[in-house]
Amino acid sequence: MSGNSGIGSAKITGIGYYLPEKILTNFDLEKMVDTSDEWIVTRSGIRERRIAAEHEAASDLAYEAAKMAVEKAGIDIKDVDLIIVATVTPDMTLPSTACIIQEKLGAMKAAAFDLSAACSGFIYGVATAQSMIGIGHIKKAIVVGVEVLSRIVDWEDRATCVLFGDGAGAVVLEACEKGEGIIGTYMQSDGSLGELLYRPGGGTRLPFNEEMIRERQHYVKMKGDGLFKIAVRSMVDAAEKTLDEAGVKKKDIDYLIPHQANIRIIEGVRKRLKLEKEQVVVNIDRVGNTSSASIPIALGELNESGTLKKGDLVIMVAFGGGLTWGSILFRN
């Protein structure tokens, strides 16, 4: 699903992110499972990741990121119409994490809901808010990507626990003229491949009980090699479709912000899009794979570094469980 067919569009006017303080290095992991810094770095590009403190839940991280985005945008929180929180690790099933941060932020005019699209969640959230703004339903939205994956990974499974981290990123979106701000969006899913990355237990199919927990079904399961093959292809496809639809050439892109799942996937996407290394935002070495939070954290860091300039053309591309993938093209 692609396009920007509304009467107007939305632009990003504030960016925020939050990383928990605790750093877990590959050397720490060597003491926990049968792995090595060398394996993790060469296979994934990850050196360390952040882990939420015991008292921190998804809404605490999301609140910090959203608060920073709102401050950067300089908007009155009372004017926010919509809050979308993309996450697969909400505080609880009910109420939504979006409603929890709505109250903390004091955005009492807003409608708030969570969105589940795994690592593509932030892209899906921005595309959803952009279309609601674009058709004129609302004027201001906050979109957050947040994960506390450390609570759902199996710390005895070396194939997954070395890859993931915790964090949050957020943007404020405000109405603008069509042709400014977000100029292209793309979302796609393939539900037939859900078992490549899933968490079987803890929902209504396999509710919490002793047997389910004993069989470790409440942890994330991943078929890494199966995902790897599809990741590059689908991210490049999403980027190309978004660019084509917007009538933008690859050579005009200033920055690519890819989902940070694996440095080899990022490199594959970069080469196929014919971009220079300097054009690709990479922080996987420091934060690992934070699923829906990965793109807004990378965007936040790019913005804070002062590198992102007004007028820059940026493409954000994600891929993840579901399967889901998608892309957002915007002019800063």
Catalytic residues: 119, 259, 289
Subset of residues 99 to 128 that bind ligand UT7, contact rule: CB under 6 A: 119
Among 158, 218, 233, 286, which residue sits at the site for ligand UT7 (rule: CB under 6 A)?
A: 158
Amino acid found at 174: E
Residue with smaller CB distance to ligand UT7, 26 or 131? 26
Does residue 43 bind ligand UT7 (CB under 6 A)? yes
Place of tokens 């201001």: 140
**Window contacting ligand UT7 (CB under 6 A); options: 106-114, 126-134, 175-183, 224-232:** 224-232
Q: How far apart are CA 52 and CA 54, in angstroms?
A: 6
Write phi, then psi, for 131 (nearest 5 degrees).
-70, -35
Helix residue spans in the chain (DSSP H): 26-30, 37-44, 58-73, 97-105, 121-134, 158-161, 210-214, 224-246, 263-272, 284-287, 294-304
Does residue 284 bind ligand UT7 (CB under 6 A)? no
- Site track for ligand UT7 across 159-198, x = CB under 6 A: x--x----------------------------------x-
**Window contacting ligand UT7 (CB under 6 A); options: 72-80, 167-175, 226-234, 246-254:** 226-234
∠ Cα 151 71 130 (to 5°): 75
Closest residue to ligand UT7: CB criterion:
224
Among 320, 324, 326, 332, which residue sits at the site for ligand UT7 (rule: CB under 6 A)?
A: 320
- Site track for ligand UT7 across 247-266, x = CB under 6 A: --------------xx----
Q: How far apart are CA 59 and CA 100, in angstroms?
A: 7
- Residues that contact ligand UT7, how many (by CB under 6 A): 20
Alpha-carbon distances, residue 264 vs 30, 129, 207, 223, 271 (angstroms)? 22, 31, 36, 16, 11
Q: How many CA atoms lie within 13 A of 100 on its CB side?
A: 19
Does residue 227 bind ligand UT7 (CB under 6 A)? yes
310 contact partners, CB below 8 Å, separation of at least 6: 332
Q: How far is the CB of 312 from ligand UT7 (least distance, A)?
A: 26
Reading the block at residue 10, the tokens are 């939305």
C-alpha 94: how far from its chain's center? 21
Q: How far is the CB of 310 from ligand UT7 (least distance, A)?
A: 31
Q: How far is the CB of 94 from ligand UT7 (least distance, A)?
A: 26
Among 9, 289, 290, 327, which residue sits at the site for ligand UT7 (rule: CB under 6 A)?
A: 289
Residue with smaller CB distance to ligand UT7, 134 or 321? 321
Number of residues that make up the chain:
332
Q: How far is the CB of 288 from ligand UT7 (least distance, A)?
A: 10
Strands (E), the chain: 9-18, 22-25, 48-51, 82-86, 111-115, 140-148, 166-176, 182-189, 197-198, 221-222, 255-258, 313-320, 324-331
Does residue 228 bind ligand UT7 (CB under 6 A)? yes
C-alpha 294: how far from its chain's center? 4
Binding site for ligand UT7 (CB under 6 A): 35, 39-40, 43-44, 119, 158-159, 162, 197, 224-225, 227-228, 231, 261-262, 289, 319-320
